[in-house]
């Protein structure tokens, strides 16, 4: 699918920043790339990219703040004018690696706020803007949809795959994200908006750590390939960076 406009959260570093870089460098790059981050002033990598790519717009977003989400919708809608949004990637996330002895109510709730509730609320807020896109485009190129939400999850959210236990924060909040994504896929299917859940693999970022298996450029290149090939029959599925279906 041609991504005419893209909004990505957590875009100032790690996987989010790499998505921005690679989408901007595509031969058919989006007309708008909205890179949302907590602190645009300090987003030096994004600002440097903005000097080369006029289609990059840096936006402020604290994903747990209702007003911040509202302001983002207003700002993105104003830039898009009559156009809708083609792709929303809910990428911002956290990992605290809480083991049984470390768990606190506060840290668990914070993880759920960032990893599960925020992507739901951001998706909810952007549904009208995505719908505009799904209604506007002349054809769907055989993909069966014209707008999409991609939620970045993790294989460690798979209940079937969990044989080592622990990591209560990430496993549970991302499993909730998977269920949220599944419901979104059902609710948004009539509006021809696809919803996909992607596991990036174990990636060398601040979150993944230096010992991770994959380079961030490799993970993101593979995920972009998966995103570009998604068809409506894949909506609501949990896929890895190579498009392989993962067990719930």
Judged by beta carbon, residue 10 or residue 50, the one nearer ligand NDP is 10
Which residues, 6+ apart, have CB-to-CB distance to 236 below 8 Å? 181, 182, 185, 186, 195, 197
Q: Does 203 bind ligand NDP (CB under 6 A)?
A: yes
- 236 interacts with ligand NDP by CB under 6 A: no
Q: Report the residue number, 72 or 230, with the smaller CB distance to ligand NDP.
A: 72
Nearer to ligand NDP, 146 or 152 (CB): 152
Residue at token pair 């809708």: 84
Task: Sketch the per residue contact string, 212 through 231, with ligand NDP: x for CB under 6 A, - otherwise.
Answer: x-------------------
- Give 38 or 47: the residue with its C-beta nearer to ligand NDP: 38
| Size (the chain), residues | 248
Q: Rounded to the nearest whole angstrom, what is the least distance from the CB of residue 175 to ligand NDP in the complex? A: 12
Q: Cα(140)–Cα(4) distance, rounded to whole angstroms?
A: 12
What ranges in the chain are assigned the alpha helix state H?
Answer: 14-25, 44-52, 66-80, 105-112, 118-136, 168-188, 216-229
Closest CA to 216 of 3, 10, 1, 5: 10
**Contact flags string 99-138 toward ligand NDP, x per CB under 6 A:** ---------------x------------------------
CA distance readout (Å), 93 to 33, 80, 82, 173, 228: 20, 26, 31, 10, 23
Stretch that binds ligand NDP, among 85-93, 126-134, 186-194, 235-243 (CB under 6 A): 85-93
- Restricted to residues 139-158, the positions that interact with ligand NDP (CB under 6 A) are 152, 154
d(CA 68, CA 62): 6
> Taking CB under 6 A as the rule, does residue 47 contact ligand NDP?
no
Per-residue HEC secondary structure of 145-177 comes to CCEEEEEECCHHHCCCCCCCCCCHHHHHHHHHH
Q: Minimum distance from CB of 137 to ligand NDP (Å)?
A: 28
Residue closer to ligand NDP by CB (options 84, 208) is: 208
Nearest to 185 by CA among 214, 136, 150: 150
CB of 82 to ligand NDP, least distance (A): 29
**Which residues in this chain contact ligand NDP in the complex, by CB under 6 A?**
10, 12-16, 37-39, 61-64, 91-95, 114, 152, 154, 200, 202-203, 205-208, 212
């Amino acid at each position: 699918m041609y991504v005419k406009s893209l909004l990505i959260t957590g875009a100032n570093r790690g996987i989010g920043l790499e998505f921005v870089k690679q989408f901007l460098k595509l031969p058919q790059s989006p007309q708008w790339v909205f890179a949302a981050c907590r602190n645009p002033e300090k987003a030096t990598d994004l600002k440097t990219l903005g000097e080369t790519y006029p289609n990059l717009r840096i936006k402020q977003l604290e994903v747990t703040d209702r007003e911040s989400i509202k302001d983002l919708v207003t700002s993105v809608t104003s830039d898009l004018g009559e156009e809708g949004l083609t792709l929303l990637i809910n990428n911002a996330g956290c990992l605290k690696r809480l083991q049984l002895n470390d768990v606190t109510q506060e840290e668990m709730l914070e993880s759920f706020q960032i990893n599960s509730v925020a992507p739901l609320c951001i998706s909810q807020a952007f549904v009208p803007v995505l719908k505009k896109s799904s209604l506007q485009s002349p054809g769907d190129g055989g993909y069966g949809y014209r707008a999409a939400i991609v939620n970045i999850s993790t294989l460690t959210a798979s209940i079937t795959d969990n044989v080592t236990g622990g990591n209560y924060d990430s496993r549970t909040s991302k499993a909730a994200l998977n269920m949220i994504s599944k419901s979104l896929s059902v609710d948004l299917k009539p509006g021809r908006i696809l919803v996909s859940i992607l596991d990036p693999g174990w990636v060398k970022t601040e979150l993944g750590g230096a010992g991770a298996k994959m380079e961030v450029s490799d993970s993101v290149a593979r995920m972009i390939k998966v995103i570009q090939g998604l068809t409506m029959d894949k909506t609501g599925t949990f896929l890895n960076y190579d498009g392989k279906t993962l067990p719930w």
